[in-house]
Structure 1
């Protein structure tokens, strides 16, 4: 069936809502395995020896000494403690990778660069695409082989991929992986996953899962007045 694009403007502009069977895609995510192209997200790369200590001073989470392979969520707050930005943060190979909503990418990039001052850190866009895999079937040997790994990472950890990029595991009631790969390789990886039995799905399937997990989304479940505790980003299931 034909892919149905998400509307533009909208939070998922540039993504596919579904591939003609949204309920079937949601069932496959629960019972098998699906791959969802979320490369409309903005990915940023932080390098430099002071990147962790610097980011620790301007964000909500304790990230000054994250170990290799660590995965966490993080926030930027305004002077009144209201949420301005949310991102997933991955520490790997002496680089900190942040990915956020596509519509907030340029604003977050500008904010981070503005806050550098004298710190030894560089913030750049990363040419990485985000693919999300959902479902118990992601642990199948054929799927792992298509990814280039032998086992699933532990929750809240990431491992490097042989061809560049990495795969990280998100805490979830069902297996959930984000695969960040060079944009030029994303289409080939998606084909290998489909050949391994993973069903293509749209962001509707991802949103259905996210809501089930009680995981808030910036700009969808929040507004300019939201504080972290209200959304569950601190002290809640999110």
Structure 2
């Protein structure tokens, strides 16, 4: 969709798709008011087939997948032996195959790991990145429940895409419907387009972390709130489970995700990975994502030490920032997280997506 007039390519980690199409603030408003099409074709796509696929994925990931209902969407993590986040998967199963999309540039490593764990299981793993691409039909926020609460494929507003053969798979998420299509169909699912600037601004405003941007190699699921959406706490063993269980039952994670209200008088945003400090210069974390929101102004997400007082003023890359709690300091030890996350309301009854 970079051939659309006015398209400006995004920078890392979203090279290959549009940051905006000439007016990023107008695109944000359009996304807040109605449905827009966001090109996310740089994401990795993986297909897993074979009769053991769900049982196998259940044993490897943090999510309860062995009885995943056809058409429902799940989030799952693959953790290191120490419980650190390695891969974040958005997936669905259609009854014959499990479809997964992942962050740009990570599909090859994921497939390599999965292939190394096949042993005698009846499964086949294919990297279809480029052969199928992700397009997201995104819309207004917030709404209670949103798309993420929908599990019945017949009830999904995306059902026509599958029925008409337009989509290979459809997944639901906090900001809309992710559709896997062939590249030649990209850009044909909607008439109003928005770039990654608008999508990322809405994601940050919704307090939703993005793995790879708001995490590092030491990130634990509890630190960024993924314990609620991507971890099943009453399933069997998987790699990294001991750390998850220990934090959940006995302790607290060392860091916590915060929302940053950035000083609007500064003409730049904090760089990804830049230090978050206290007023006296003591570094307490790092800046993850940052964006200019059409209503909130400059905003961001940061990962900081759990012990930082919740009312302490911060500096993100030297820019004054007021923090807002996303993950509370007492997360873990059986404390239930209540994250502020925006979701998308379903279209009006009878409204088709095409």
Same fold (TM over 0.5): yes
2:150 is aligned to 155
Instruction: Give me the whole-angstrom Cα distance separating, in 2, the residues matched to 1:132 and 1:186.
Output: 10
- The yes-or-no answer on 1:179 pairing with 2:179 is yes
- Alpha-carbon distance between aligned partners in 1 of 2:82 and 2:223, rounded to the nearest angstrom: 14
Q: Distance in 2 between matches of 1:171 and 1:33?
A: 14
Q: C-alpha deviations, 1:107-158, integer Å up to 9, x for none? A: 111111111111100000233211111225xxxxxxxxxxxxxxx9972555
Tell me how far apart the structure 2 counterparts of residues 153 and 11 of structure 1 sit (CA, whole Å).
25
CA RMSD of aligned residues (A): 2.1
Q: Which residue of 1 aligns with 2:139?
A: 135
- TM-score normalised by structure 2 residue count: 0.56
Cα–Cα, structure 1 residues 230 and 154, in superposed 2: closer, same or farther, change >3 Å?
Answer: closer
Q: Any conservation in 2 of the 1:3–1:19 contact (CA below 8 Å)?
A: yes
List gaps (5 residues or longer) in structure 2. Answer: 141-146, 154-158, 229-336, 342-354
- Please state how far the C-alpha of 1:16 moved relative to its aligned partner: 0.7
| Residues 1:166 and 2:191 aligned together | no
Match of 1:213 among 166, 191, 206: 206
Superposed counterparts of 1:1-238, under 5 Å:
2-7=6-11, 10-126=12-128, 127-136=131-140, 155-156=150-151, 158=153, 159=159, 160-163=162-165, 164-172=167-175, 176-187=176-187, 189-190=188-189, 193-194=190-191, 199-235=192-228, 236=337, 237=339
1:156/1:183 Cα in 2 relative to 1: closer, same or farther (>3 Å)?
A: farther
Q: Distance in 2 between matches of 1:226 and 1:215?
A: 15
Q: Which deviations, in whole Å up to 9, do the C-alpha atoms of 1:197-231 show, x marking residues without a partner?
A: xx111111111111122221111000000000111
Measured in 2, the distance between the counterparts of 1:154 and 1:214 equals 18
Q: Indicate the structure whose relative CO is greater, using CA pairs within 8 Å and at least 6 residues apart.
A: 1
What SS is found at the alignment partner of 2:15?
Answer: coil
How many residues are aligned here? Answer: 212
Residue pair 2:99, 2:169 contacting (<8 A) in 1 also: no
The residue matched to 1:167 in structure 2 has which SS? Answer: strand
Other structure's SS at 1:222 match: coil
Distance 1:75 1:42, change over 3 A: same
Structure 1 or 2: more helix by fraction: 1
Larger Rg: 2
User: Does structure 2 retain, via aligned residues, the 8 Å contact 1:69–1:157?
Assistant: yes
> Please, what TM-score do these two structures have when normalized by structure 1?
0.82
Counterpart Cα distance in 1 of 2:206 and 2:150: 15
Aligned partners of 1:48, 1:224: CA distance in 2, in Å?
Answer: 32
| In structure 1, distance between residues paired with 2:24 and 2:30 | 10
Aligned-partner Cα distance in 2 for 1:87–1:2? 32
Alpha carbons 2:72, 2:150 under 8 Å: kept: no
